[in-house]
Every structure is written in C-alpha cells, then in structure tokens.
Amino acid sequence: AQAAVLKQVAQASAPGQRLMINTRKKILKEKGATPTSLEEEVAKALFDIEVSPSCDFKAELREIYLSGATEIEVGKGGAAVIVHIPFRAWKFAKKIQSRLIKELEKKFSRKHVILVANRTILDKDFRRKGMKVRPRSRTLTAVHEAILEDVVGPTEIVGKRTRIGTDGSKILKILLDPRDKDKEHVDNKLPVFSAVYKKLTTKEAIFSFPQV
C-alpha cells in the first residue's frame, strides 16, 4: 500500500518537476548562480509562450534564454522588468523583439518589459588581459549607444542631442521615429525608457517623438 502511495505522489509531482526543468533551461546564470524568483518567473513566461499553440515564433524562442532579470520602479506606482539576454542569443530576440515584449507584458500585467543584450565594456587596461586591440564595440560609449537601441527597440532612433545644464550636468535628448507603427503603445513607455536607461548606464535621457 505504501509503495502505491509513493507511486501516486511521484506521478503527481512528475509534471511539476518536468516544468521546473524546462523552465530552468531558459536561464543561464554565471558560474551556476541560483536564479531569483523574478528570473524563474520570466523563464516560466518564456517557456509558456514557446509551448503555446498560438505562438508563431517558436523557432526563434527556442534559441532565447535569459541571464538575469531586474524589476525597477517607474514613476508613481509603475514598474518595469528588465530582461537580460546573453549576447549570442540576442540576434534571435531582436527578430521578434516587439512581439515577444507584448507577450511577456501580458504575463506581467501592469508591468512594462524591456529586453537588453548582455554586453561587456573593456576599460583602458585591456592589454593586461592579453588583448592587443580593444574592439570599438566594447568601449563604454559604444556599449551605452547599443543599450540605448536595445531599450527602445524595435523603435528606431532618428536623432540625438546632448543638453548641458548650468551645473554642467548632461541630459541626452533622444528622438524616436514618428512613423513607428507602434507609436501609440511606445508613447506610454517613454518614461520607462528613461528610467531603464538610467538604471543601466547612470545617464539621464529624455525620449520623445519629433513633431511632424
């Protein structure tokens, strides 16, 4: 009788274990670090979207996993989830960026979702690390520019200006493509872009659509 009960318990827990294993496949942490509850939640959302019968971008989604996730406050009572994607998986995420964000935002109701690639900045002592030349894409400026494009993606940037305050502080003014087909949806995310960009780079930026 005891064996039968144990068998039933094992059968009952098997689907949950399989789900946990499949969910964990969507997370790649450095040096086997333990994922946070938010990261597990994002991984489960990615897996659920991938196995959904209505998903029409399964091939790309199979190649996508996250390396981290952070939640930040935006404005009064708002929140955004920043999902970090390993650089080698970013090309797949970029292909479906708009659709994936919308599907993830359905899973995280009342929270904005921003996808960004993991990029490494090489400082000026790169030669000590055995490199003769520092690739331009690994400089601080280039990485911050790439983060800017990730944060607003797939909306395109059509203009950039730097405004210098009387106290010497710098504020970036970023103009987004007014022809973007998701302009109405993106309009609501402009304060989110500013908050996320500051969180990732410590730089102040204001995002807007130019008047046409």
Question: What is the predicted pLDDT for the residue at 100?
Answer: 96
Angle CA 140–104–84, to nearest 5 = 25
Sort 100 into a burial class: Cβ within 10 Å, 0-12 / 13-18 / 19+: buried
pLDDT of amino acid 174: 96
Burial of residue 76, with CB atoms counted within 10 A of its CB: 0-12 exposed, 13-18 middle, 19 or more buried: exposed
Per the CB < 8 A criterion, the answer to whether 47 and 40 are in contact is no
- pLDDT of 92 reads 95
Residue 83: the pLDDT is: 97
Could you tell me which of 119, 76, 131, 83 has the C-alpha nearest to residue 104? Answer: 83
Stretches in the chain below the pLDDT threshold 50: 5-13
The whole-model pTM stands at 0.83
Contact 11, 23 (CB under 8 A): no
